[in-house]
Amino acid sequence: MRLVLGQPLFHPNHSQEMLFMRTKLLFLGVVALSPLLQGCFGSSQDSVFPVTGKVTYQGNPIESGTIVLDSVDGNTTAAMGEIVNGEIKAEAPAGEKIIRISAVRTKNEKDQYGELITESYIPAKYNGQSDIKRTVSPDEANVFELTLE
């Protein structure tokens, strides 16, 4: 049996034996690649836990933004969630996290192409240079109240 690139894997004129061999080859290929795919997309053993709460900036709820929960020790993957009307919704592995908040808003100005200009308005001390730490626990509710000045 030989596989020819560009030819369909299954063809109505192929014999049952040929179809069985191609199916078997396809199955073996998927099985062989599964450990690589698991490494690319994370382990199913990395349990995540819900994170909720509220976040305000200068006394007002952040209308729309993102929250990133980075592992302090680097042993778990980072997690990202959304902020809508000041409400946090995310899932993250357990452990101590550095919290990074970002949000953009539309200005009443247009660029050279007539598109509205957006700006990131959360200071770097709350995102790229953040030192806000919280712990995601597998045993407790993870409700974070974040007040950014």
Q: What mean pLDDT is reported for the chain?
A: 81
Q: What is the percentage of the chain residues whose pLDDT exceeds 90?
A: 60
**Of 5 and 129, which is predicted with more confidence?**
129
Contacts of 41 (CB under 8 A, 6+ apart): none
What the chain holds in terms of domains, given with CATH numbers, is 48-147 (2.60.40)
Task: Report the pLDDT value the prediction gives residue 75, as an integer from 0 to 100.
Answer: 84
Between CA 11 and CA 24 the distance in angstroms is: 15
pTM over 0.75: no
Q: Which residues contact 103 (CB under 8 A, 6 or more apart)?
A: 57, 62, 63, 64, 65, 66, 83, 120, 121, 122
Cα angle, residue 25 at apex, residues 19 and 27 outer, rounded to 5°: 100
Over residues 38-82, the pLDDT tens digits come to 445 544 456 999 999 999 999 999 999 999 999 998 888 999 999
pLDDT of 116 over the 50 cut: yes
Where do the H-state alpha helices sit in the chain?
Answer: 16-41
Structure tokens at 102: 């970002």
With 60 as the cut, is the pLDDT of residue 29 above it? no
Min mean pLDDT across 5-19, 50-64, 101-115 is at 5-19
